[in-house]
Amino acid sequence: MYYLYILECADGTLYTGITTDLERRLEEHNSSEKGAKYTRTRRPVKLCYSEVYEDRSSASKRECEVKKMPRAQKLRLIEESL
């Protein structure tokens, strides 16, 4: 399984990515050098949205779609999932 996820950074910005293990990846973003360069300077980050996909291709396609969304649309996506 692959997960698309959106993180909210300490500065209020949003970060989108994919992973096979949400818990591990969140930990990496918050405390490891394996976290994305973008999130390393914006810690702590918190998981605010995720979707599940069966394969990497589907998750990557959705990641591309979400990354192209304006911030307001991403926030609506997050709010609708609550």
Residue carrying the six token digits 């609550």: 82
CA distance 11 to 19: 23
CATH number at 18 reads: 3.40.1440.10
Residue 30 scores a pLDDT above 90: yes
Domain hosting 68: range is 2-81
The model scores a pTM over 0.85 = yes
Mean pLDDT, rounded, for 29-51: 93
With cut-offs at 50, 70 and 90, classify the pLDDT of residue 33. confident
Number of domains in the chain: 1
Mean pLDDT, rounded, for 56-73: 98
Tokens of 52: 């599940």
